[in-house]
Structure 1
Amino acid sequence: MVPHFNFRGLWIVLFVVVLTLTSTTVTLVHSKTNAAEVSALNVMYSSLNSPSKLDGWKSSGGDPCGDSWKGIKCSGSSVTEINLSDSGLSGSMGYQLSSLTSVTYFDMSKNNLKGDIPYQLPPNALHIDLSENGFTGGVPYSISQMKDLKYLYLARNQLKGQLSDMFGQLPKLDELDLSFNQLSGNLPQSFKSLSSLTTLHLQNNQFTGSINVLANLPLDDLNVANNQFTGWIPDELKEIKDIETGGNSWSSGPAPPPPPGQKSTPRANRHSTKGAENSGLNGVAIAGIVLGVLVALAIIIALFSRRTSSPPSHFVDEERLSQRRPFTPLASQELSNDSRSEIRKDLRELRSSDSSSSIPVKGLQTFPSIGLKPPPSDRVKSFNDNEFVNHMNVKRSSSIRVTCYSLADLQTATGNFATGRLLGEGSIGRVYRAKYADGKVLAVKKIDSSFFQGTRGPDFSEIVSNISKLHHPNIAALVGYCSEQGQNMLVYEYFRNGSLHEFLHLSDDFSKPLTWNTRVRIALGTARAVEYLHEICSPSSVHKNIKSSNILLDMELNPCLSDCGLVTFHQHTSQNLGTGYNAPECTKPSAYTLKSDVYSFGVVMLELLTGRMPFDSSKPRLEQSLVRWATPQLHDIDALAKMVDPALRGLYPPKSVSRFADVIALCVQPEPEFRPPMSEVVQALVRLVQRSGMNPRGEDLSASRRMDDYDY
């Protein structure tokens, strides 16, 4: 009897086999690793000197997830973990770690990695361990943007310098280990914001000052031994179970009492929610506030009494102030909307008073005694009704500390603004050379009158006032101004050497080029100027027009950044768009930020490196944009050598060029959040100068030999 064959069962089996094969194929397809992550790991492998011990790794291409590269774990097509601890690796980690956006665990500890910690680390990492290597430099500021970071271990390296105030946006950071380095200075105030920190190891560094910023952190494990700390150990910290404080210079005797209104927080409550900490004011705090208000009122009454007995003066009319409602100290309470509107009205009336009043209001000068400090005179200040609490000095013409030139005087000095005296034309007007009978030469920027048409035009006197307060050796100094007959002009010192643009792009074939050392010094000086605008001026100022033609060179070829303080005019012009200097996010003038300036500065550095213009339509299509052409080659040693300005004739140190390129790569990142602050750029360039043995200010250059200096 012939057995009956079950075709239905066969079909089911075949279906299952096909389904399994299809599933396997799909899995293999989906295991193909994200291209950006592959590129980052390729660069990392090359930077690690392509070690054969890293099984599967390649310097080009490959599939880390599908081919199971050593130390790599994935989820789908994304790399999620990199663990190469104790792998005998040397070199560095490359410059594309920011592309590893899915990595949450990053461990490169116990190797022999050298140089600075890359400014860019995996941005979404929860766990970073770079301990027990040979890293130098400082702790990268980019860590401040890693809001999900929980564990950071940088112990047993050779890190130096002070900690930046970078810890204010790390609410999840649980463990921080910076021990056994050479870090110095006071602990940053942003440590106070580490609301989840339970473990902090700072031992065997060179930290100074007090540790009061740690008092209210939920610490269970604290080690600050073998530093240079002084002062007293806060009582709150003495309750920690695991604490090491030896090897410091602590003060003996009882600690001073806390300021009025403050009360020590019990250790038991420090692990509770913040809502419990801020649940209300205790009796001592209320008493302190009441006492402060009474003292402030007493001071105000004394001032008013003093005012009535004072002789008349040329100060702004104080009688108008006394006719207002009683003034409550701004430092003691939050102002209501009605109060704000009334004060705005008072300030507007003061601003409209006699503009010749050149001295600060007497009644306002005394308020620092109750907590309001006048703005520093060496910092830029702009008046804004929405910021009146922080800007109590009313705008006045007296704050203009430069010479007021007459229109007739400037017409004579410029030959009635003759074409032959024209130095250049920019987005806000033309610049003329003004020559006086005594031989003095100045540069006059004649601002286009269209900026001042209509009722919403900029306040020229305020612009002049703000520019006159900019004092930095690498910023072109304002000498004077003119505002007559509807014409507004700014007068600057004159630079006979012209601009960086002229040196790089307009010099003839017989001119001696800028040496490499000089180019680095120009970059550093310009970076210092931008850092001053961004991080020292208060409020910070965006330049919006950083380019080589705005970098002027003195007789020793030191740079001076021009057009500073003119951001008001650049808000109404789009001339810089499409020139190759603007960052990708700057599709319109209003989109500029501090990080946009960083990008533009990076483009200037590319000009210094390559001698090329930011955009050159005479080049082949793929080479017209300098950033697009140069960026992929910045970390390829062979390609980099071909990119360097031919005018240098090969006279440059390759390591210096490579480090210079590293800084450029950071500045021209397409995403603004991955660009470093200018202080980081300055630090990187300072280290480059120090390693090369250069003089950062260029005092070793004389006018006669400034372009023959080939010290390598």
Structure 2
Amino acid sequence: MHHFVARCFLLFLGTLVSLVHSKTDSPDVSALNVMFKSLHTPSQLSGWKSSGGDPCGDSWEGIKCSDSSVTEIDLRDHNLSGQLGYQLSSLSSVKIFDVSKNNLNGDIPYQLPPNAQRIDLSENSFDGTVPYSISQMTNLEEINLGHNKLKGQLSDMFAKIQKLKSFDVSDNQLSDKLPSSLANLSNLNTLHLQNNQFTGTINVLTDLPLNDLNVENNKFTGWIPDELKGIDNLKTGGNSWSTGPAPPPPPGVQHRRRPNNEEENSEGSKISLRNGLLIGFSCLGAVTLLLFLICICTMRRRSPPPSSHFLDEDIVSRRKGFTPLHSQELGTEAYVGILKEPKDFKSTDPGNGDIKSLLKSPSMGLRRSVSSRVSFSENEFANRLKGRRSTSVQVVPYSLADLQKSTDNFAPGRLLGEGTFGRVYRAKYPDGKVLAVKMIDSSLFQGQKAEEFSKLVTNISKLHHPNITELVGYCSEQGKNMLIYDYFRNGSLHEFLHVADDFSKPLTWNTRVRIALGVARGVEYLHDVCSPSMVHKNIKSSNILLDLELSPHLSGCGMASFHQHTSQNLGMGYNAPECIQPSAYTLRSDVYSFGVVMLEILTGRMPVDEQKPISEQCLVKWASPQLHDTDALIRMVDPALRGLYPPKSLFADIVALCVQPDPEHRAPISEVVQALVRLVQQSALNMKEDLSSSCRTTDSEYEIV
């Protein structure tokens, strides 16, 4: 009997010990499971599992914990390969994250451990860009991304990470100018930028408390500021510095100077004298001010109330432009505002700029409310509209010489891309204006009269809609024909979804719905407003450009007449089954192409991907049978969303209406618009109900539609 009691006690004790040790927070476990699989389940990581487990209780290699939370991940020099997964943002208690000196590749995950103080990803093979999400990591003190293959520019991401003491991006392929927000890093001691392709000056570093600065082997120009020459460890070789004396700073600009020892003694005596003079003048000034105040009180004049425009200026000065890379999205109220009067907007004049129609578009004016959410302001948008669209956009002729100068003679470095009709270049002007110049392939005009280009320009210039790129100019000289548009700095939807640009990825679900609705309205304008109706013939994600507010603008409109020459080059995977010949394109063919774009938005997959298994290479064929299967649909959703979407808002039914094989069974675009409108309305209603029914729900959980 005693033995039985003893065995029961030992069993209970073992169970209790097991429960004490099996304590790791489930989000941490899930994130490490995903990371382990993304690293190709390396055997050298003892204790790690691809599903479940207890990292803290079972002492997974490289993992340190505090209570039930993972606080440190140290996997440096473990001969690891693969990637880091997409759930690092769940590791909210991790302070140190070090995976340096491995063979990791691909993109640095857009979301890193959000509260990390030290991150070291150096000496790997990461490519892509420096993720903008770093801008939200306010506890970050050290980050080392050196010795990788990162490219692109450093974005303006440093305004909020003022605890940063050390920043290293050396030995990469980064380019362009240093961002102005670097000047906000008031605690930065170490900055290593060497062995990149940075350009411009380093004046933005002037007032930083640096004691270790290395900018060697870049393409910096200008002068090394005197304020930086006193840095203890300064390396500046291998750049194109200007010779001769540096010009004086602009009037009113003063920088902190680093004095040497002799200067300190001299400066000390000067300060003492200056302080004495200041005290004397201060006393005299105080007496004068007292006499002045007595005079004012005696006169008893009533000052006029402040002019209202000062208040307006103060409000405007506090407004910040919408940052496309934050996850700040339109709230419920904003969506309700968008969808008031959700009828098909019609217009007899494509260029009338009807304000009610525009107010229903995602291209609305945006301002930040006190709660940091982006909210909708009808008055603000109306004012912008009045100033921007009171008259039709004036399409102006540009000279070839002017365009050659602004594009560096169409230099390869200014090439934005090559599309169906030719190449697109970025044109920069001294006043800061940037345009996109589409040089149309001359072969498209073979056998056509010279006035055909003039007719093309006339037709495109009549298109005015907030979700369609507007023509601003043209050039036709020396056999070259060019169309000129505004330049969209955020690139295309294709780049956001597929090119793994960590500067702007991933798009949240709110943004994806806004983009889908905006593109649908642009197509509706072409089909139902223009007279005669206009078939686009080339709707694809690379032709959907995104502005700074991530509002979509459909490009390539009005070019359908050239498709008989270029049908073989159209986007693979977007063409409807009936579009074997260019003449077979119809309005319903556009609807099919738009449905493919919606599938891209939903799944994050390419329309055709030969890297996938054969059964999954064609997106439409793979997805269509699963659109009405709830469980399968959830598995189809883009993993980059990390589950941050309400399942009822997935527009699978709308997609199914668009990608029907028989064009007669496809919905017209006006019905697609209305279906999206109803979806957003219902999602907004559900969101309100969910918010009111749960007192534990935070705003961040409902940053989605």
Q: Which has the higher contact order (CA 8 A, sep 6+)?
A: 2
* TM-score, with length taken from structure 2: 0.47
* TM-score, with length taken from structure 1: 0.47
